Amino acid sequence: MNPNYFTAGPSQIHAQFANIYLQGLQLGYGSISHRSATFREIYKHTDLQLRQLLELPTSHKIFFTGSGSEIWERSISNLVEDHSFHLVNGSFSKKFFNYAKGLGKKAAAITMPHGKGFEIEEVMFPENTELICTTQNETSSGVSMPVQDLISIKNRNPNALLITDIVSIAPLSSIPYSHVDSSFFSVQKAFGMPAGLGVWIVNDRCIEKSKQLVTKNISVGPHQSLNDFDTNYDKWETPNTPNVMAIYCLGKIAEEMNQTGMANIQKEIDSKADLLYSFADNNKKYTPVVANKAHRSKSVIVLQCNNSGLLIQKLAEKNLFISNGYAEFKNQEIRIANFPTTSIAQLQILIEELAAN
């Protein structure tokens, strides 16, 4: 059997990726300038396909960075003068919070215990909040925030900007972008590409806010500030030489997803998540870390088990790769990605092996 990567990302590479990449190389895309007509067509195509896939409104633009985690820093720098507020429900939302503190902002947070999501109506938001930072899908713990919670947050805080980290869920959840000012993801998760590209989605309000900070003489970068991105976006260019090949491949993969149709992709993801959670709920060796079904991630499923290290090793011998628990949960949890790049048949083989080991 070929290797099957159910790792939480980098993960299984899209079956067409190698062909797409090679074709891009043959077309000379590894050699072109980011100020060439060819690059502009690539950017435009990727923007168009992602826009359709994510159902982005025209108020939102798409920019490219070196990674998703870079956007933790860029978003705080560009969108916060003093006060950010963070909904922390795992290690990655905590890192986002720490970046804000590291940038010298007066960052505040509400923190949930491991495996718990937020009862959103109970969260009190500080009045002076400029940016509310949420993580829609916590890759460390498998906690997910229902998309309607994003609408609720925005309705209660219409003046604050709302950003959501969708690194390990995009494009599998339907983000209500009319209520979400910014979001971001990496390509090495559900898009099935190697790492090396971050995607940052922002609306006009974000660009305005960044400009206000510049007017106040507050440093917003200076590398790849929102104003730089925006000025270049008008010409379908980027501030600096980006990862052109990855932008090209992302556009082609998004195009392929659009042809399959998000409804079909979602349906298969839902089926696979049901299979895996049903198995774990009915097997004494495994317990889903997220007890509340409304808060269970469908793309990163985290299970408690004994001696996860040995289990991971045994699965690897059968060419089935999963992730260990994150940080302090390394030896007592496993994390299984449910991305479009693995099939139901492959998941069933994994489940059989989980049952047998």
Q: Which residues bind a copy of itself (CB under 8 A)?
A: 3, 5, 7, 9-13, 17-18, 21-22, 25, 28-33, 65-67, 69-70, 72-73, 98-99, 101-104, 186, 188, 193-198, 219, 221-223, 240-246, 321, 323
Give the single-character DSSP code of 338: -
Buried b (16+ CB within 10 A) or exposed e, 212-244: ebbeeeeebbeebbbbbbbebbeebbbbeebbb
CA–centroid distance for 249 within its chain? 17
Output 73 or 255, the one with its CB closest to a copy of itself. 73
Structure tokens, 115:
């495996």
DSSP-derived secondary structure letter, 15:
T
Q: Which is nearer to a copy of itself, 13 or 151 (CB)?
A: 13
Smaller CB separation from a copy of itself, 106 or 179: 106
Q: Who's near 211: CB < 8 A, 6+ residues apart?
A: 226, 227
Give whichever of 77 and 177 is closer to a copy of itself, judged by the CB atom. Answer: 77
**Smallest separation, CB 70 to a copy of itself (Å):** 6
- Nearest residue (CB) to a copy of itself, 312 versus 351: 312
CB of 269 vs a copy of itself, minimal distance in Å: 19
What is the DSSP secondary-structure string of 166-229?
-TTTTTSS---GGG-SEEEEETTSTT---S--EEEEEEHHHHHHHHHHHHTT----STT-HHHH
> Please, what is the minimum distance in Å from the beta carbon of residue 232 to a copy of itself?
13
Residue whose pair of structure tokens reads 């995009």 in the numeric block: 170
CB of 330 closer than 8 Å to CB of 258: no
Q: Which sign does the torsion angle of CA 84, 326, 6, 333 carry?
A: negative
- The tokens describing 208, both together, are 């305005």
Nearest to 246 by CA among 185, 166, 204: 185
Indicate the residue among 30 and 309 with the shorter CB distance to a copy of itself.
30
Spatial CA neighbour of 58 closest among 46, 43, 68, 47: 47
Instruction: Give min distance, CB of 98 to a copy of itself, in A.
Output: 7
- Strand (E) or helix (H) holding 101: helix 91-102
Q: Which is nearer to a copy of itself, 294 or 327 (CB)?
A: 327
CB of 210 to a copy of itself, least distance (A): 13
Nearest approach in angstroms of CB 254 to a copy of itself is 18
Q: How far is the CB of 29 from a copy of itself (least distance, A)?
A: 8
Min. distance of Cβ 148 from a copy of itself in angstroms?
30
Tokens of 12: 């299984």
**Cα 98 to Cα 7, 22, 103, 124, 238, distances in angstroms:** 25, 39, 9, 20, 28
Nearer to a copy of itself, 70 or 268 (CB): 70
| Least distance CB 201 / a copy of itself (angstroms) | 18
Of residues 33 and 307, the one with the C-beta less far from a copy of itself? 33
- Give the whole-angstrom CA distance, residue 61 versus residue 177: 11
